[in-house]
Amino acid sequence: MRTFNLSVACVLLATPILLTTNAVYAQETKPAEAPKPEQKTDQKPDQKPAAALPVKWPVIDGAAGEDIPGIVAKGTHIYKWSDGHNFTDGPACSPDGVMYFTDIPGNSLLRIDPQGAAIAMKETKGMNGVFFAKDGTLYGCQSAEQRIVAITLENGVAKGEPRVVCDKRAADGGVTGTALGRVNDLVLDRSGGIWFSAPVIGRKKSGNAPDAVYYCPVEGGEAIEVVRDDKVVAPDGVHLSPDSKTLYVLPYLSLDVMAYPIVGPGTLGPGKVLYTIPGGTRETIGGDGLTVDTRGNIYITVPARAAVFVLSPEGKPLGMIRFPERPSNCALGGKDGRTLYVTAQKGVYSIDVEGSRSR
């Protein structure tokens, strides 16, 4: 049985710390100043200095219910890292292993911290999925503005205004205009490309942006439509295989997990059904978000089952990890890349696994 990875907490302690309860606050960390000459104070000789703030998070909140060989042992602790949010999503781990996530209704980008989640950015304009580039730039889906943006972080806090990377798509003959729709999730490839989803959840209206998956270069420009299929209803989560040769698409309103061979930048081959999520619940929804480890194993969040399903690279079901709340998305991170972070309704959770992050 694996125990909690203390190295994760050590990494997080290096970030700016701000105590909170259920609400979250943030402040920028000022650069260290040169020592000043000793000054007289009103402190009495017997008065003790303020005690260090106690570590509040994480707390144990469950355990893996089954053995998944090569992934996780039964009984491995599930930890809760934050609570009291409106609806958490994202998530993404920075190159140094710190996990960031979004609270969509709360209009905030946050980072987990042993003393409480701290705000990295306010007024995020409905930011949903986020993803880190190797250079530390954070790319995000601003669903309310229907655009992809790039965010520079300094000391764990957003610096300046986000740079707009993409806010329109190539026109499709004037049928639905050039708006992207409510962008949802994204992933970066090794060639400088962004693959992102824009699902339609609810009634489709004539003239509005379609259910689709798009591609655009990180430098910016018009998005290219790469997936529009009546069988892929509300394409939600997107991710890549470790070798960047396959794009995985996880629909929210259908049960088939899709895999598409990548032919070139912005070009896909015919897709195939990699796995079909079992029905049997009252809800007719599929998955939400996903991530992939270096071995090619795929972790998909299935809200109706309150679980993360784990698949082999070939789409064989390996098992599931149940969580206290309905999961929305997941990402691998931590110092060694072997901590699976899961955003779920009001909380954020983690569990140590054997596979490590692939990008």
Is residue 114 pLDDT above 70, yes or no? yes
**pTM, two decimal places:** 0.84
> Looking at the domain assignment, is residue 49 inside a domain?
no
> Looking at the domain assignment, is residue 199 inside a domain?
yes
> Looking at the domain assignment, is residue 51 inside a domain?
no
Residue 46 confidence class, pLDDT cut points 50, 70, 90: low
pLDDT of residue 351: 98
Q: pLDDT by residue (tens digit) across 206-225?
A: 778 888 999 999 999 999 99
Is residue 99 pLDDT above 90, yes or no? yes
pLDDT of residue 198: 96
Residue 230 sits in a domain of what CATH number? 2.120.10.30
> Looking at the domain assignment, is residue 78 inside a domain?
no
Count of the separate structural domains present in the chain: 1
Q: pLDDT by residue (tens digit) across 184-209?
A: 999 999 999 999 999 998 777 777 88
Can you give the length of the chain in residues?
Answer: 359
Q: pLDDT by residue (tens digit) across 77-97?
A: 999 999 999 999 999 999 988
Q: pLDDT by residue (tens digit) across 139-157?
A: 999 999 999 999 999 999 9
In this structure, what token pair is assigned to residue 152? 């520079």
Q: What is the mean pLDDT of the chain?
A: 86
Tell me how far apart the alpha carbons of residues 143 and 42 are, in angstroms, rounded to a whole number: 53
Domain boundaries, position 257 = 168-290
> Looking at the domain assignment, is residue 324 inside a domain?
no
> Looking at the domain assignment, is residue 232 inside a domain?
yes
> Looking at the domain assignment, is residue 208 inside a domain?
yes
pLDDT of residue 210: 86
> Looking at the domain assignment, is residue 352 inside a domain?
no
